[in-house]
Each structure stands twice: as structure tokens, then as C-alpha cells.
Amino acid sequence: MSKGVISKDEDYSQWFNGLVVKADLAEHSAVKGCMVIKPYGYSIWEKMQAALDQMFKDTGHSNAYFPLFIPKSFFSKEASHVDGFAKECAVVTHYRLKNDGNGNIIVDEDAKLEEELIVRPTSETIIWNTYRGWIQSYRDLPLLINQWANVVRWEMRTRLFLRTTEFLWQEGHTAHATAEEAIAETEQMLNVYADFAENWLALPVVKGRKTANERFAGALDTYCIEALMQDGKALQAGTSHFLGQNFAKAFDVKFANKEGKLDYVWATSWGVSTRLMGALVMAHSDDAGLVLPPKLAPTQVVIVPIFRSEEELAQISEFVATLTKELKAKNIRVKYDNRDTQRPGFKFAEYELKGIPLRVAIGGRDLANGTVELARRDTKTKETVQQAGLAEMIDGLLVEIQANIYQKALNFRTENTREANTYDEFKKMLDETPGFISAHWDGTPETEERIKQETKATIRCIPLDNKLEDGTCILSGKPSTQRVLFARAY
Amino acid sequence: MSKGVISKDEDYSQWFNGLVVKADLAEHSAVKGCMVIKPYGYSIWEKMQAALDQMFKDTGHSNAYFPLFIPKSFFSKEASHVDGFAKECAVVTHYRLKNDGNGNIIVDEDAKLEEELIVRPTSETIIWNTYRGWIQSYRDLPLLINQWANVVRWEMRTRLFLRTTEFLWQEGHTAHATAEEAIAETEQMLNVYADFAENWLALPVVKGRKTANERFAGALDTYCIEALMQDGKALQAGTSHFLGQNFAKAFDVKFANKEGKLDYVWATSWGVSTRLMGALVMAHSDDAGLVLPPKLAPTQVVIVPIFRSEEELAQISEFVATLTKELKAKNIRVKYDNRDTQRPGFKFAEYELKGIPLRVAIGGRDLANGTVELARRDTKTKETVQQAGLAEMIDGLLVEIQANIYQKALNFRTENTREANTYDEFKKMLDETPGFISAHWDGTPETEERIKQETKATIRCIPLDNKLEDGTCILSGKPSTQRVLFARAY
């Protein structure tokens, strides 16, 4: 294993943690549960942000920024919301430190806040309190706003990217005149997320609805995209909530319709987070390191010279200068690593670890033959190709690699999505062939909860494209009209 | 005054607050001292971010992300740093809320943190604690990192954008092998800020150094850019700090140099914030609203049709479709406002308020004559021009407007920078002709402090391009070798 990365078949969890650190994506910080996103990891996150942000703007949304702090009383205004978040809140109680006279810095008890402030775990409450001032009439609707922000949910057991006390995300918060429009927005944003997951992350996702148990605290309906990781566990990659009039009622946000009649506003919220970084790593990487889809790779092509003399390096560099120019003209992100302090083998391992989609190696013999060696990260194949037409070939290969990474993940998911018709079969699959399990469920929270307690599997979603099909619940044997998707999940 | 904006000559402070709110830039939130940045304001901030971010990357920096929370003990490790920030900290003491049994949500005293966490007011401490793990040898240097983040400094008296408890900013934190390299970085980033201020914000700035009194808590030297607002008060628009080895020593960050000898690392930090939004408004706007430099204007050109019939509107729209296409091909941000619910006069006032640099109005007579009416926001001049060649003309005008807004601000600053040679003259200028005052100072903190106490004027900076000149201190009469720049400031 290069650089001490553990094999994923040996210990998937340790493999993931090790890879995230070794590939310079992120690391644990000195603050419990909080991570540091390192420059390489952040540069991938920036590409995700840019793509998503453009998709949000293309669908009519604007960005804005709301306060980090939420007064405790706001939290209590929507009953199920406070139940959902109160147990994991960072609470600010004071606004000053002081010297205790013995050289120690202590909290100044004279600077106690009258009302505690909660560090936002999500912003529905502060935003809907603000919307009250922004919405008077149907002319102010729809209000389509997104925020890029950090949020805090106190976590006892954390994992880099997947579950951290602080994480980065975007949260969309929209307001509409009718339930229909709000539902259409909820569905539109789910589709945006699915589009992003499939076309950028190269991650096939199942679009579906959460059961009542798994809904967002305060939502009438939660839509989600669910992806399958290489260990057969599911990962929720994004959610889009239809909030009904719950927050409008809690914060008294009414609008006058065209007839002048007052009604409460209809709401949605939707978000994805740095968790997607975890999904990216878990879905595609291997024991040699990351496998990045070209669209998100900070460097798409790395060129490594193999030389025995300064003169040979100079000749290679001349060729590379032309190639680099051609690649950049095609908006391809290319890096030339001509360091003479590291051997080619070291560089090859490093770029495999970092997941660079394509590697071009060129040595003296290549110069003589008019060739280069091209190595693909996704298939780990190498071939010697002509220098003529290389830029066009690379351009095409990057598209092919993006498609191949997606197809590989899709094949994996197809192979690991199974139907279970009895509870025994279901439990056996969970242990022996983990993946998505499509099974009949009687629709009750009690059955769902018992399955969760007994097997640690949860209902990931009720797929949107579900066929109706008569059957019997795997646990209760009661009648059911459709299968739902179960899995153990992150 | 349109839409209730108060005249800036009448009450500059109220004019500013009113304009920020009326122009939809920002508003106060329900959380004391924290603002909501509204979509229009945020879209300008995004343009600032994009331009700065590119400049940082062009000078070799990468973005990363460090935790929001800082353990209290980290804070105390650099003595002057804690003195500078302890008085204005938001302190997290608990991590859970609970129901008190009577339906009230209260802080759960069982969830008290062993060590309090500070919401970052700036990130030197958490970052240098992290750098200890990232830097071993000279090969790891320089480390050139920037972070876009929110920070919190508890403020008792807040003003939108200029002084808020939470604000958005970027903070660069770099590590170097030598003092010389760190100083060069400090100066480079000051120049980047000055470049951005002048070429994007259209804001002339004085580059200088702060006196010891005004230095960043923990810095050996603080460089700054200082701008003059239309009321003659100065505004610090960005700072770049040479931190010496203070933070490396506090967090034990050493590197092995080429000879294998261990030494502490040299540091810089530098930042600009949403305060620049305040500077933008204060520097250029007038009683009719914002005046945005074209480079930062979310919409650069607005087109308003003036029509008496649907048929006329259709004809105008046909022309506008072609014009819009031509403008977009030149990367000009254009909006066509064909709403029939508002009269042209209303639209004109709205776009003046929003500071759109150019307005194109076109009516039936224009169609017949092959003309349009062009109105500039900066000069408030209107002219009738030919439709032929309009896109090219607009392209040129946007460049001219950007330059003109800068020149106007530069002229204002030149007219309002004066030399004072006696304390009486100095005080008279402060009250009667506020602006920058260039005056001799004896170099002592005591004199600086007394002038501040007596006049509320502070030394904004010791300009970098200062000529040495013998003189006597305006307060103490002691000898001085150069003038420094005083002003009352935001």
C-alpha cells in the first residue's frame, strides 16, 4: 500500500480515514469534532461549489447571508424543529473573557447574555423571521434564496467529511404563494442535486422520499438522493424539503394574494454539504488513492518527464510547453512536474494518490519515437500513443473517464441492489452481500423502527420511480403496495 | 429624496444607513449586532470575492478551511493577541439544550464544555496550531494559504457593513523561512489590496504602516490601505501584518533549514472584509442612491422601454433582443426591464437607487429616428445617441465610467488632504474641513494617544511613499523627521 494507506477490503473505515488524510483532503483539528479542510480538499470543494452555484443561479436563485447566531427563543417556535436540533447545539452564553488576576484567561461572568445564542445547525428559523419583513404580497413571491455557510451540529462520534461538528454547506430557502409551487421547487432542486451527483460527482443516485420517521424536523415531506458506497453502505447525498406552512406560521409570514386575501406563505429548504466530499472518496477511490472524476479534479492531466540529462529535460520541456499550451486552450487543467528532487516512480505514486485522471510520461525514447506514455487513473491502464493529435486525444479521454467512473459506480450499484422477500433473506443480505435492499414494508413507523433496531438498516427512501406492486411486509407480513429501499447507511 | 433616503449633506450617517437598507444591500437582523446581507448586496460581495480570489491565486495562494471554534487556551498563548481580542469574544460554554419539563427550552447544564470554545475573531491561533503538523522542513515553505470565512467580534456599537458583530472576510496566513520573505509577502499582499481597491472599487488608497499603538495584536508590523469617505472621515480598507516569529514561538512551529538547523517559522496574515461594502457605498454614492463602479455592478446596463401600445413594445423588444445579444457577447451584464406594472419614471428611480452604471431608454420616437437615450449614473448626464454602434459605445462608456468614478474620488481626496503645521490649525481643519491631515508627530505613543483623546483623530498611517522632512511635532513641538497621516476614522 502506498504511503501507508490501508486496503479498503481489509478495513474500509480505516482505509477511508487514512486516504482522506494521506491525499491531503482534510484532517482532524484540535477542536473536538471539527476538521481542517486542507488546500487540496478545498480546491475540490470549490469546484463543487462553483458547479452547484451556477445551477442554482440558472434556476433563478440568488445568494444571501444570514447570521451565524440564532436566539434560543426562535428555535422553540417550530415544535418539531426544536426537538430535532436541541440535542446537538453549540450554545453561546457569554461575550467576553477576562484575566482572573493570576494570569489566567477566564470567562467574564459580567458578560452573560440575557438570551443564549445558538450557533446555527440550519437556518430556517432566523431566515423565516427575516422573511416576515420581506414578504407582503404575491408580488414578492417566489422568493428564491440560497446561502453558502458553515453550520454546527454537536456530534459525539465524528468522521472526516461524513459527520463533523462543523461543516460547510449550502442551504436554499424559498417562499411561494401556493403549495403546488413549493412542491415543484422541492422537486426541481432534488433534480438539480441528482444532476450534479451524476454529471459531476459521477455518482448514480436514487431519487426518493423519506418516510415520516426520517423527515427533516419541521418538514411535511423530505426528498433525498441516496448513493451506494463501495462497502455496500448507503449515503444520503442531498435533501430537499417541502416545509408546508410550518415556518410561515411559526414566524407569522403572510402575503396578500391577487384578491387581497391574506394567507401564510409556503416554504421549501434544501441542502448539500461537504459530506459530498466523503461520498466522492468512498464511491470511486481504490487502494492506490483517490479516483477523481475529471470535472472535479483540480489537476486533470499531469505531465512527468523522465530524463537522464539536463539536455534531455530541456528537449522534453520544449515539447511539454507546446502540449500544455494546447491543453490550456481546451480549458484542460494541466500540471508539469519537472522537479528534479523526486524520481518518476515517486511522482507516479503521488499523482495516483491524488487521483489525477490522466498522467503523461515522456522520456528520451519517446522523444525519438514521437510518442508519450498515457496512463489512466480510473482503469490503471497505460498505453504508448503518438504525440501528433495528443491534445485532442486527451480531451476525448477526459470525457470518457468521466463517463467510465460513473458507469463503474452504476454497475456496482446495479449488482448490489437486491430484492428481499422474507426477513431472513433480508438479514442475510445485509450481512453477506451489503447493498440496497428493495423490500415490502407495511408503511408503519413501528415496523420501520423495529427493523432499524434489529438490523441497523434504515429505509433510505421510497424511490420516486417506484412501481406499485402488491406484496407483504418482510417483518409484519401485512399487505404492502410497494417496495422501499433499505440499507445500512452512513 | 427618492424612497425616503436622507440627504448625505444633512446627515451622512443616516444617509448611509438608509441607503444600505433602501438599496437592498443589507439590514439589521434580530440578533444584536449581526446583519443580514440581502441578495443585491451579496451579489456585489460575490464579485469582490471572485476578483480578490483570482488575485490571491495568481500570487500563488490556495484556499483552505479551519474550524470556527478556538479552544480558550489557544488564545492565551500569544500574550498581546489575547489582550487584543479577549474583550470582544463570543464564548460557547454548552453543547445541548433541553426541555425544562414546563415546555421551556433551556441550556442543559449537564452539557457544559470542559474548556470553553471561542468563536473565531481571527484565526492565527488555530491555524498556527495546525501548521505545526504541516511544516517540518524548508521544503514545506513557503506555505501560502487563504481562508474565506465568517468571524465574530462582539461589538457594542454596530453599523451595517462597517462594524458588525459577525462579518465575512478572507484571512491569508502564510509561513516563510526568512524574515525577508515574510516581509516581502506582507508588502505584496498590501499591493494586491491597493490594486483591488483602485481598479475594482475605484477607491484611491494611501498605502502605509500603522504606528505601534494601532498594530494588530501579535504583529511586529501592520501595513494598511486607508481611504477617504465623502464626509472626510478615513476608513481602513485592508491590513497586512508581518507577525515575525510570534505565532511560531507560541505554537512551537519550527522548520529545518537547508543546513538541517532548526528555526522558528516567519509569518504573515492579511485580510479584507465586508467592510469594503461600506467603503464602496460611502465613497461614491449620492442622494439618489448607489453609484457602482461597472466592474462590481451586478447589472451594468439596464434597458427600459417606453411604449404606448403592445405593438410598440414588441418593436422595441425586437431591437433590444439584438442589442442584448451584442452586449452579452462582450461580457456586459445587461437587464431588460419590460415590466408593464411600473412606469418608466419609477424604473429610472429604482435603477438610480441601485447604482446601475448605464441606462438605455428607448421609445417610439427613438425607433423612428434610429436612436436611444443613454443615461450615465456617475455624471447623471443623458444624451441621445445612434443605435448603430451602440454596443461598442456602451463597452467604451463602462470603461470610462469606471475611470471617472475613481478620478472623482481621487480629486476629492486630493482636495481634502491638507498639511497642518500647528495644533490649532490641525484642530480647526478637523472640525471645519475634515479629511486627511498630514502633520509632524514626535513618534511617541503618548503624543498619539493625547491627540486621539483631545480630537478623536488617529494616525491612519505612516505613508510608504513618505518624504523625509525635518519638522516639529504639532503637539509636543519636539523634532520630527516626517509627516504622518491623521484623520477621524470609521
The string of pLDDT tens digits covering residues A97-134 is 998 888 888 999 999 999 999 999 999 999 999 999 99
Q: Do B27 and A133 touch (CB under 8 A)?
A: yes
Q: Do B31 and A67 touch (CB under 8 A)?
A: yes
Residue range A4-27: average pLDDT?
92
Point out the residue among B42, B62, B99 whose CB comes nearest to the CB of A63: B42
Cell of B300: 451594468
What does the DSSP 8-state code read for residue B25? S
Chain B residue with minimum CA distance to A69: B31
pLDDT digits (tens, 9 = 90+) for A445-470: 999 999 999 999 999 999 999 999 99
Among A49, A53, A69, A85, which would you mutate to test the B interface (most chain B Cβ atoms within 10 Å of its Cβ)? A69
Q: What pLDDT band is residue A78 in, cutting at 50, 70 and 90?
A: confident
Q: Do A46 and B35 touch (CB under 8 A)?
A: no
Residue range A320-349: average pLDDT?
96
Q: Do B29 and A91 touch (CB under 8 A)?
A: no
Shortest CA gap B199–chain A (Å): 25
Shortest CA gap B168–chain A (Å): 9
Point out the residue among A72, A96, A99 whose CB comes nearest to the CB of B105: A72
3-state secondary structure (DSSP) of residue B101: coil
Structural domains in chain A plus CATH codes: 2-284 (3.30.930.10), 294-408 (3.40.50.800), 417-487 (3.30.110.30)
Q: Are B460 and B226 in contact (CB under 8 A)?
A: yes
- Cβ neighbours of A36 in B, within 8 Å: 64-67, 130
Tell the burial category of B193 from Cβ atoms under 10 Å away from its Cβ (0-12, 13-18, 19+): buried
Cell of A285: 477511490
State the Cα–Cα distance between residues A115 and A93, nearest whole angstrom: 8
Chain A residue with minimum CA distance to B41: A64
What are the residue ranges of helices labelled H in B86-178?
124-134
Cell of B219: 504583529
- Residue B287 pLDDT: 96
Per DSSP bridges, beta strands A436-440 and A417-419 are parallel
Shortest CA gap A365–chain B (Å): 32
Question: Phi and psi for A378 in degrees, rounded to 5?
Answer: -70, -40
- Cβ neighbours of A117 in B, within 8 Å: 31, 90
- Cβ neighbours of B97 in A, within 8 Å: 72, 75, 82, 86-87, 89, 91, 118
- Residue A3 pLDDT: 52
State the Cα–Cα distance between residues B475 and B448, nearest whole angstrom: 9
**b/e per residue, B20-30, with b = 16+ CB within 10 A?**
bbbbbbbbbbb
Q: What pLDDT band is residue A5 in, cutting at 50, 70 and 90?
A: low
Chain B residue with minimum CA distance to A34: B67
- Residue A294 pLDDT: 98
Q: Do B95 and A75 touch (CB under 8 A)?
A: no
Chain B residue with minimum CA distance to A117: B31
Q: Do A96 and B34 touch (CB under 8 A)?
A: no
Shortest CA gap B116–chain A (Å): 8
Per DSSP bridges, beta strands B206-209 and B301-306 are unpaired
A376: left (phi over 0), alpha (psi -120 to 50) or beta: beta
Q: How many CA atoms lie within 13 A of A221 on its CB side?
A: 19
Shortest CA gap B218–chain A (Å): 17
Q: Do B97 and A107 touch (CB under 8 A)?
A: no
Shortest CA gap B279–chain A (Å): 19
Strand order in the sheet with B458-463: B62-63, B143-152, B166-176, B266-273, B234-244, B221-228, B206-209, B458-463, B483-487, B436-440, B417-419
State the Cα–Cα distance between residues B34 and A71, nearest whole angstrom: 12
Q: How many CA atoms lie within 13 A of A190 on its CB side?
A: 26
State the Cα–Cα distance between residues A376 and A102, nearest whole angstrom: 62
Cα pseudo-dihedral B253, B259, B261, B265, rounded to 10: -30
State the Cα–Cα distance between residues A165 and A51, nearest whole angstrom: 25
- Residue B225 pLDDT: 98
Residue in the structure block whose three cell numbers are 516567519: B266
Point out the residue among B34, B37, B67 whose CB comes nearest to the CB of A31: B67
Percent of chain A having pLDDT more than 90? 93
Chain A residue with minimum CA distance to B153: A95
- Residue B3 pLDDT: 52
Residue in the structure block whose three cell numbers are 460611502: B282
- Render A68-87 in DSSP notation, one character per residue: SEEEHHHHTTSHHHHHHHGG
Q: Do B93 and A98 touch (CB under 8 A)?
A: no
pLDDT in tens, chain B (490 residues): 455 558 999 999 999 999 999 999 999 999 999 999 999 999 999 999 999 999 999 999 999 999 999 999 998 888 788 888 888 999 999 999 998 888 888 999 999 999 999 999 999 999 999 999 999 999 999 999 999 999 999 988 999 999 999 999 999 999 999 999 999 999 999 999 999 999 999 999 999 999 999 999 899 999 999 999 999 999 999 999 999 999 999 999 999 999 999 999 999 999 999 999 999 999 999 999 999 999 999 999 999 999 999 999 999 999 999 999 999 999 999 999 999 889 999 999 999 999 999 999 999 999 999 999 999 999 999 999 999 999 999 999 999 999 999 999 999 999 999 999 999 999 999 999 999 999 999 999 999 999 999 999 999 999 999 989 999 999 999 999 999 999 999 9
- Residue B117 pLDDT: 97
Q: Are A69 and A94 in contact (CB under 8 A)?
A: no
Point out the residue among B27, B38, B71 whose CB comes nearest to the CB of A30: B71
Amino acid at A278: G
Chain A residue with minimum CA distance to B341: A139
What element of type H or E holds B402? Answer: helix B390-415
- Residue A79 pLDDT: 77
A475: left (phi over 0), alpha (psi -120 to 50) or beta: alpha
Helix, strand, coil abundance in chain A, percent, nearest 5: 40, 30, 30
A484: left (phi over 0), alpha (psi -120 to 50) or beta: beta
Tell the burial category of A169 from Cβ atoms under 10 Å away from its Cβ (0-12, 13-18, 19+): middle
Point out the residue among B92, B116, B166 whose CB comes nearest to the CB of A67: B166
Cell of A395: 480531451
- Residue B436 pLDDT: 98
- Residue A104 pLDDT: 86
State the Cα–Cα distance between residues A406 and A389, nearest whole angstrom: 26
- Residue B1 pLDDT: 42
3-state secondary structure (DSSP) of residue B10: coil
Per DSSP bridges, beta strands A358-363 and A301-306 are parallel
- Residue A64 pLDDT: 98
3-state secondary structure (DSSP) of residue B308: coil
The predicted model scores a pTM of: 0.96
Residue A296 has pLDDT above 70, yes or no: yes
Of the listed ranges A147-156, A400-409, B5-14, B130-139, the least confidently predicted one is: B5-14
Shortest CA gap A105–chain B (Å): 7
Residue range A393-422: average pLDDT?
98
Chain B residue with minimum CA distance to A39: B64
Cell of A282: 468512498
Shortest CA gap B239–chain A (Å): 23
CA nearest neighbour of A337 among A377, A370, A294, A307: A307
Residue A153 has pLDDT above 70, yes or no: yes
Point out the residue among B76, B99, B166 whose CB comes nearest to the CB of A105: B76
Q: Do A37 and B88 touch (CB under 8 A)?
A: no
3-state secondary structure (DSSP) of residue A209: strand
Q: Do A82 and B93 touch (CB under 8 A)?
A: no
Query: For the packed helices A39-58 and A179-199, what is the interaxial angle rounded to 10 degrees?
Result: 140
Question: Phi and psi for B6 in degrees, rounded to 5?
Answer: -75, 145
What element of type H or E holds A256? Answer: strand A254-256
Among B28, B31, B125, which would you mutate to test the A interface (most chain A Cβ atoms within 10 Å of its Cβ)? B31
Point out the residue among B36, B105, B119 whose CB comes nearest to the CB of A92: B119
Tell the burial category of A1 from Cβ atoms under 10 Å away from its Cβ (0-12, 13-18, 19+): middle
Distance of CA B83 to CAs A157, B77, B348, Å? 35, 11, 51
Longest dimension (CA), chain B: 83
Residue A414 has pLDDT above 70, yes or no: yes
Q: How many Cβ pairs closer than 8 A exist between chain A and B? A: 186
